[in-house]
Homo-oligomer: A and B are copies of this chain.
Amino acid sequence: MRITNQREIILEELRRLKTHPTADELYEVVKKRLPRISIATVYRNLERLSEAGIIHKLEYGGRQKRFDGDVRPHSHVFCVRCGRISDVDTVEGLSVRAMVLDPKGFEIIEGSLQFEGICPECQKGNSLTTN
């Protein structure tokens, strides 16, 4: 995978943000540094980078995908009101894989804890988007 200016800045900005942005949220941020970049380039690179395991694609909540520049194993909580995602600190050293009794023939690649809740913003009643 070539190192293009666009790719580098997309990755840099994603890693800087701790918000798990959607493609278009990240596009708005990247556009400040690369005003001529195309939204398609953002989508394309997020896809390429996640295939390569350099970033993570988060597919909770059914509408827009979100992205995470932090690929270390960790858990997320998803806001059912607005779709925001936050990291959640969980007890150390738990093996989710080891909790499986019967994988029903699936070859399990990975396991994680997942949470749903209401984010601080939405608790205040600022449910701007409906996911």
Query: How many Å lie between the Cα of A102 and that of B115 in the bound state?
Result: 12
For the complex, would chain A's binding face be called helix, strand, loop or mixed by DSSP majority? strand
A108 touches B112 (CB 8 A): no
The complex is assembled from copies of this chain, and their number is 2
- Tell me, yes or no, whether A41 is within 8 Å of chain B by CB: no
Given A57-B62, A59-B61, A65-B62, answer yes or no on A109-B118 (Cβ-Cβ < 8 Å): yes
Residue from B59, B111, B116, B120 within 8 A of A110 (CB atoms): B116
Instruction: Provide the bound-state CA to CA distance between A125 and B87, in Å.
Output: 35
Contact A89 B102 (CB under 8 A): yes
Asked if A9 lies at the interface with its beta carbon under 8 angstroms from chain B, I say no
Establish whether residues B107 and A99, one from each chain, have CB atoms under 8 Å apart when the complex forms.
no
Please state if B119 and A101 are interface contacts (CB–CB under 8 Å). Answer: no
Q: Which 10 A-B pairs have the closest CB atoms?
A: A59-B62, A105-B120, A89-B102, A106-B117, A108-B117, A89-B101, A107-B118, A111-B115, A114-B114, A86-B104
Q: Pick 8 A–B contacts, CB within 8 A, sort by A.
A: A88-B106, A99-B113, A103-B115, A105-B120, A105-B123, A108-B116, A108-B117, A112-B114
